[in-house]
Amino acid sequence: MKAIILEGLDKPLVLKEVDKPIPQAGEVLVQLKAASLNRRDWWITQGKYAGISYPAIIGSDGAGIVTEVGPDTDKDWIGKEVIIYPARNWGDSEEYQANDFGIIGLPPHNGTFAEYITVKIEQLQFKPAHLTWEQAATLAVAGLTAYRALFTKGRAKKEDTVLVTGVGGGAGTFALQFALAAGCRVFVTSGTGEKIERARQLGALAGVNYKAQDWAEQLKLLSGGFDVIIDSALGDGFAKLLDVINPGGRIVFFGGTAGGNIPEINGRKIFWRHISILGTTMGTPTEFGQMLAFVDEHKLVPVVDGIFPLADAEKAIRQMDASPQFGKITLTI
């Protein structure tokens, strides 16, 4: 089969012929129709993950058709159109992942930038019928991350006022779409007016450029304050979120694109106003199914900014790193 191979640190992604995997007991073989890129994939190419070995087939998002099953595995899955749950070994707790938790696309678990992949049968969910392959492939990592952050951790509900910071990336764009579908009032920040306008076209009430010195003051005036804030940046601006969160509000963050540390903050603002600051990563298999059901119920359509053939994965990942996109970048397989 053809697959995109990462051969070493700082080396370009290349298309090569490799052996097609063979499903074992409890596994299926999925013929991938599309995959999508996440910031994680870029970080892997830059050696940001410990223990990576080469060569590696990267990619965590994928959708396709089950073509084979392993021994003693339910043959009814053959021919089914599926989206792959990207994690392995979440564990028994709904609150946090197990110590041996992993995500496909990092050895020893080959990823989705390939024509075929073997996964456990528990990792399969049916593809929503209203989505194209490229749209469906975007949902796994970013959609699940946004869903858990917004609903499980943030407890967002109808008529809540929600802020999505740094809108334009995959998870942030899904958080915007999910919050709107749930009946929330949604505001955004971004570093470009173009992305703010795109968010407004999707339904955001307003947005502020976070490069402005008074961005927090502007947001407070526009919104009156927020019940839930979804953040993926951290960095120097994080402390200002305490100035715009309502009493009893929840600030949920994942990732740290503006820096991995939380700056010095006034603890009194947190305990006196009953503010919750919550970290989150990915989500459970149950939440993955709930997220896809939510997408199906509301007939949500992921925002796909660019579609590349599998052979152009290197070009696609460099475009993602430059961050001009709004939404997700996908690979057609």
**Mean of pLDDT values over 117-144:** 98
Instruction: Based on the fold, state whether residues 275 and 210 are members of the same structural domain.
Output: yes
Examine the domain organization and report whether 208 and 83 are in the same domain: no
- Please indicate, yes or no, if residue 247 is contained in any of the structural domains: yes
Q: Is residue 129 domain-shared with residue 57, that is, in the same domain?
A: yes
Amino acid present at 81 = E
Q: For residue 70, what pLDDT is reported?
A: 98
In a domain, 291, yes or no: no
Residue span of the structural domain in which 12 resides: 2-138+302-332
Kindly indicate the confidence band of residue 236, based on its pLDDT and cuts at 50, 70 and 90.
confident
Which residue do the tokens 């690979």 mark?
A: 331
Q: Report if residue 72 sits inside a domain.
A: yes
Please report the pLDDT score of residue 259 as a whole number. Answer: 63
If one counts the domains in the chain, the total is: 2
* Shared domain check, 165 and 101: no
Q: Are residues 197 and 272 in the same domain?
A: yes
Q: How far apart are alpha carbons 91 and 94 in whole angstroms?
A: 8
pLDDT in tens, 243-295: 999 999 999 999 766 566 777 888 999 999 999 999 999 999 999 999 999 99
Tell me, yes or no, whether 149 and 275 share the same domain.
yes
pLDDT tens-digit map of 156-170:
999 999 999 999 999
**Whether the bond into 108 is cis, omega within 30 of 0:** yes
125 and 155 share one domain: no
**Does residue 288 fall inside a structural domain?**
no
For 29, the token pair is 């073989």
117 & 149 share domain: no
Specify if 22 maps to a domain: yes
Q: What is the mean pLDDT of residues 9-17?
A: 93
User: Residue 258 falls within a domain, yes or no?
Assistant: yes
pLDDT recorded at residue 262 = 77
157 and 109 both lie in a single domain? no
Q: What is the CATH classification number for the domain harbouring 62?
A: 3.90.180.10
- In this structure, the answer to whether residues 56 and 174 fall within a common structural domain is no
Residue 257 has a pLDDT of: 66
* Residues ≥6 apart with Cβ < 8 Å to 310: 2, 4, 15, 35, 113, 115, 331, 332, 333
Query: How many percent of the chain have pLDDT more than 70?
Result: 98
